[in-house]
């Protein structure tokens, strides 16, 4: 059935209004108040309040004077991670069971750290029980955070809108609708991918910190344990030798580069920059695994069963070789993708000019 000009014009206006309303709501959801002392977008400043726990919380509490939403996150970071640091310090002095409760609190703290960064990045006023309430009262005794951005309703259409463009023919109207729907879908997919990448980077940061702490402070607990029934005590023989100190510098450098790179990727979501940083991370990862294979700071002879010791030695070697091959293939693929992206950007640049 052929549509009349009035019906086509109405469909055109409805689709245009739907697209503009969606885009405005999305911009309002992501856009934070620019009124910050540091000049950083508030949701990024909120993430940075949690990056180094109470340390960055104090930094942003001192620097930020205008935006109460950022100050709320800074104070909440100080209270939450300051309390966790004190708890870990006290539990470290308790013999026998102290290490267990310290590990539980530390794992819970890492999970909470990731959640708080993701919530801050999404612009959510997320309050940790007790700590969030205290932070809110300190920032605003009235209990409200006025600088917190809230989505606003799309503006109402004026009663006398400007004359609409000439109504397109039926085929053109269908093409317009398809283009509008395609644009909306692309916009939403880009938003979802950005949120997923930010979450993945947050988990990568957390995992790097876990590895950094374990291999620098607790690697000796990767050991073979034996129980002496007469004395009622446990003894351990570590799987690592002193040669691990030859490998730790490049391992620590790789983890530090990974943490910094993922923080940059959260703040600056740029395709070529992200690909270049992944190339650097994979390159250092490959070098770290190869160095581990060369140094091989393992001693599995502490296992009483010689067959099990030999099998463990072989298994670890095979796993490390597979990881190195995986890093090598991944690095090659990422380099090719980066080169393709650079070439495409170079081709588009003269066209845009």
The pLDDT value given to residue 158: 41
Domain spans, the chain? 214-353
The pLDDT value given to residue 27: 53
Backbone angles phi, psi at 302, to 5 degrees: -70, -15
Q: What average pLDDT score do residues 221-237 get?
A: 85
Length of the chain: 353
Q: What average pLDDT score do residues 17-34 get?
A: 58
What sign results for the dihedral spanned by CA atoms 246, 249, 252, 253?
negative
Q: What average pLDDT score do residues 273-293 get?
A: 92
Q: Is the pLDDT of residue 203 over 90?
A: no
Q: How far apart are CA 240 and CA 226, in angstroms?
A: 17
Q: How far apart are CA 100 and CA 236, in angstroms?
A: 17
Q: Report the mean per-residue pLDDT for the chain.
A: 79
Secondary structure (H, E, C), the chain: CCCCHHHHHHHHHHHHHHHHHHHHHHHHHHCCCCCCCCCCCHHHHHHHHHHCCHHHHHHHHHHCCCCHHHHHHHHHHHHHHHHHHHHHHHHCCCCCCHHHHHHHHHHHHHHHHHHHHHHHHCCCCCCCCCHHHHHHHHHCCCCCCCCCCCCCCCCCCCCCCCCCCCCCCHHHHHHHHHHHHHHHHHHHHHHHHHHHHHHHHHHHHHHHHHHHHHHHHHHHHCEEEEEECCCCEEEEEECECCCHHHHHHHHHHHHHHHHHHHHHHHHCCCHHHHHHHHHHHHHHHHHHHHHHHHHCCECHHHCCCHHHHHHHHHHHHHHHHHHHHHHHHHHHHHHHHHHHHHHHHHHHHHHHC
Residue 280: band (very low, low, confident or very high) from pLDDT cuts 50, 70, 90: very high
Q: What average pLDDT score do residues 76-102 get?
A: 82
Backbone angles phi, psi at 238, to 5 degrees: -65, 145
């Amino acid at each position: 059935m052929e549509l009349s000009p009035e019906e086509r014009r109405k469909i055109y206006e409805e689709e245009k209004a739907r697209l503009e309303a969606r885009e405005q709501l999305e911009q309002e959801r992501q856009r934070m108040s620019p009124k910050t002392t540091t000049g950083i977008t508030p949701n990024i400043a909120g993430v940075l309040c949690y990056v180094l726990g109470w340390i960055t919380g104090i930094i942003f509490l001192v620097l930020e004077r205008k935006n109460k939403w950022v100050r709320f996150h800074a104070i909440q970071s100080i209270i939450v991670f300051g309390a966790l640091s004190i708890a870990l310090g006290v539990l470290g002095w308790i013999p026998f069971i102290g290490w267990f409760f310290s590990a539980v609190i530390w794992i819970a703290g890492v999970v909470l750290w990731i959640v708080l960064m993701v919530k801050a990045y999404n612009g959510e006023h997320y309050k940790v029980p007790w700590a969030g309430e205290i932070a809110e009262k300190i920032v605003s005794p009235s209990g409200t955070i006025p600088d917190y951005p809230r989505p606003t309703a799309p503006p109402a259409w004026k009663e006398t809108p400007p004359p609409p463009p000439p109504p397109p023919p039926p085929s053109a109207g269908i093409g317009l609708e398809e283009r509008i729907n395609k644009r909306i879908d692309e916009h939403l997919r880009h938003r979802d991918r950005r949120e997923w990448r930010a979450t993945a980077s947050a988990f990568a940061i957390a995992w790097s910190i876990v590895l950094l702490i374990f291999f620098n402070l607790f690697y000796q607990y990767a050991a073979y344990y034996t129980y002496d029934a007469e004395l009622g005590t446990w003894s351990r023989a570590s799987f690592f030798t002193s040669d691990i100190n030859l490998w730790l510098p490049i391992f620590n450098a790789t983890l530090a580069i990974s943490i910094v790179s993922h923080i940059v990727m959260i703040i600056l979501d740029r395709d070529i920059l992200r690909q270049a940083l992944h190339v650097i991370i994979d390159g250092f990862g490959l070098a770290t695994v190869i160095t581990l294979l060369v140094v091989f700071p393992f001693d599995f002879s502490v296992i009483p069963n010689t067959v099990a010791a030999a099998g463990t030695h072989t298994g670890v070697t095979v796993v490390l070789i597979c990881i190195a091959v995986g890093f090598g293939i991944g690095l090659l693929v990422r380099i090719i993708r980066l080169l393709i992206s650079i070439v495409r950007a170079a081709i588009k640049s003269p066209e845009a000019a």
